[in-house]
Amino acid sequence: MKLLKKQFRQSQSVEFLVYFLTASLTAVSGLATEYGEFSVDSRLRFESAEADGLEDADNLSLRIRIGYATPEYRGLKAMVEGEFTGVADEGSYNAAGVHGDRDKAVIADPKNAQLDQAYVDYTINGTTTKIGRQRIVLDNARFVGDVAWRQNRQTFDAASIKSTSIEKLSLFYAFMDNVVRIFGSEAPSTGANAREAESSSHLANVSYSAHKSATITGYAYLLDLDKVPSTFSADTFGVYTKGSIPVVEHGSLGYYAEYAYQEDAGDNPLNYEADYYHGKVTGSFKEISVIVGYEVLGSDDTGSVDDDGAPVFTGFKTPLATLHKFNGFADRFLNTPDKGLEDVYVMLGYRFMIPGAGPLTANVWHHDFSAEKGDEDLGDEWDALFVKPFEIELIPGSFKALVKLAFYEAGDSGADTDRLSAELNYAVTF
């Protein structure tokens, strides 16, 4: 103890803190080798939002996930993880109706303390069976994902099986009993922003690597959900293919083409059928990347009329998607408009190399939105993303700084919306 005090007096407080953390993590990592694996995943974020018709909002939040995985024993292991999100000022934003000021713009990061994952899995001959609360992300997360952008992650109470035991073939199936949504432990028990969604749903996904430049995937997602709006229940069947080929030295050309069909299911009172299309071409050359894409979430006449006698439409549903990843960072289209959505988008990216500091990636996006039914202009949006991974000497783990900007300009309907996010991520496993 005397030696510790002497060292503290002879060093600056920051240097002492680095020394203390490094010594502690080194000691714990020695235990982890024998007794399992510990993990810490944290994110400090400031987010601000401005939307016409609402007061400006801002939120400073800190999310920490702490996990432990047992050593593997003859293919069997278990994992448990808690998730905790704290906010600086509950009144400075609308936390998706969970708490805060409803006159302010929405920032969907409520405070939270809950069990994020807790499962047992068994692996043998390339096949893993997992039972319990778990993270599930299928393909590009357009239909099933963990909503990784938000502080509180979406996870699933499920029994799943994944097999890669057959060469070039990947099989996945899950029966899903419950969905732990992003709205946190204080969210209401029912409604559009319910804490959880009871489920009797099936997820099936089959992927075949036909060639080094072509993968074909088929899927069926049969969702029967309760405690959330019954309109969330739907059956979706789809197929996509993707691949890339080198075209010049240090360059490649890629493609992606997807089609899906959806119809109402479970207790959904809507009678509809809707289509989904997504195609894009990607290119990369040295540090430059380009994407040009076209995505359509279709719409259908439900057969009923509104008070004015006009037909009622409903759009393609994606209630379990990582929605922020698609249709602009301003989050204007988290719910598909009733008359569907067409999104024509372009991305230009560049990877800078900073002398002595490593890479910095910058991406700029433009989206042009319109309704799938009719000719309604739904606006356009400019987005920008800057990502800088880095390391700090003597501190194990990875750091990542991120800045994200979104500028949405409304068309025939909607509200102009601007968003800014700046965050620092730190993750370590030992």
Angle, CA of 271, 201 and 299, to the nearest 5°: 30
Please tell me the distance from the alpha carbon of residue 284 to that of residue 268, in angstroms, as a whole number.
44
Q: Is the per-residue pLDDT at 29 higher than 70? A: no
Handedness of CA 103, 104, 109, 112 (dihedral sign): negative
Domain count within the chain = 1
Q: pLDDT category, 27, cuts 50, 70, 90?
A: very low
Residue 368: CATH number of its domain: 2.40.160.10
What average pLDDT does the chain have? 92
CB contact at 8 A, 153 and 147: yes
120 located within any domain: yes
Please tell me the distance from the alpha carbon of residue 139 to that of residue 324, in angstroms, as a whole number.
15
pLDDT of residue 302: 85
Q: Is the per-residue pLDDT at 9 higher than 50? A: no
178 located within any domain: yes
pLDDT of residue 18: 40
Q: pLDDT category, 28, cuts 50, 70, 90?
A: very low
pLDDT of residue 2: 41
160 located within any domain: yes
Q: pLDDT category, 213, cuts 50, 70, 90?
A: confident
Q: Is the per-residue pLDDT at 30 higher than 50? A: no
15 located within any domain: no
Lowest mean pLDDT among 138-147, 240-249, 363-372: 240-249
Mean per-residue pLDDT for 305-312?
84
24 located within any domain: no
pLDDT of residue 304: 85
**Span 368-406, pLDDT tens digits:** 999 999 989 999 999 999 999 999 988 999 999 999 999
Q: How is residue 152 written in tokens? A: 């509180």
Lowest mean pLDDT among 2-11, 137-146, 333-342, 389-398: 2-11
pLDDT of residue 14: 36
Contacts 24+ apart (CB under 8 A), 398-401: 398/425, 398/426, 398/427, 398/428, 399/424, 399/425, 399/426, 400/424, 400/425, 400/426, 401/425
Specify the 3-state DSSP secondary structure of 186: coil
Please tell me the distance from the alpha carbon of residue 195 to that of residue 172, in angstroms, as a whole number.
26
End-to-end CA distance of the chain: 26
Share above pLDDT 70 across residues of the chain, in percent, rounded to a whole number: 92
**Span 255-271, pLDDT tens digits:** 999 999 999 999 999 99
Q: Exposure of 88 by Cβ count < 10 A (0-12 exposed, 13-18 middle, 19+ buried)?
A: exposed
Please report which helix (H) or strand (E) contains residue 14, including its range.
helix 13-35
6 located within any domain: no
358 located within any domain: yes
30 located within any domain: no
Mean per-residue pLDDT for 317-340?
97
pLDDT of residue 20: 44
Residues spanned by the domain of 233: 36-429
Q: pLDDT category, 310, cuts 50, 70, 90?
A: confident
Q: pLDDT category, 25, cuts 50, 70, 90?
A: very low
